[in-house]
Amino acid sequence: MTAFFRAIVIWVALSLPLAQAIDQTGWNDRERAVWVGASDFLERASLLHPPQYRRYYPFEAALSEEDIAQAWEQAKQPHAGPIYMNAHVDGRSVYILTKLHTTHPLVAQAWRLNDGLDKDAYLFWKVWKPVARRQVTQKLLGVEVKTAGLLTPQIMTIDEAVLRAARGV
């Protein structure tokens, strides 16, 4: 009987990270690998919260093109840039995490994430550097929801992140 319970505990422990991950359907291996680092960054930041606030919050809101554009515009603001960055060695793209605070209209109203407990939304983006006079392009890969208040300061602007990726820094 003890072996049975041990097996269940191991299965739950191994399944928990899978339940907490952003839906990775359609991602390539590079995107999955970079998400591991970004997810680890968020998990370490959440360790400062009491255990009862570290649980997984599903993101089930439908994302419209307007929502994505609004989130990207917010991320480009001087105070709201990337909190995490990982550039691929080819220098063509950079992966960033940005944060939408609990009071942002997308979080508070459109997506209705605050259900008595304030939450922040963390957006995982792939950003391509400009090529041949084209503008920076981006793709939202996913949204992770955490209890509000994680210590996740901005590390640079999006322009700085793209420039560093282009230089291979």
Q: pLDDT per residue over 7-28, tens digit each? A: 443 433 433 333 334 677 888 8
The domain ranges of the chain are 2-167
What pLDDT, in 10s, does the model give residues 117-149? Answer: 899 999 999 998 777 667 778 999 999 999 998
Distance of CA 20 to the CA centre of its chain: 12
> 3-class DSSP state for residue 43?
helix
Length of the chain: 169
Q: How far apart are CA 151 and CA 144, in angstroms?
A: 15
Residues 6+ apart with CB under 8 A from 13: none
The answer to whether the beta carbons of residues 81 and 148 sit under 8 Å apart is: no
**Model confidence, pTM:** 0.80
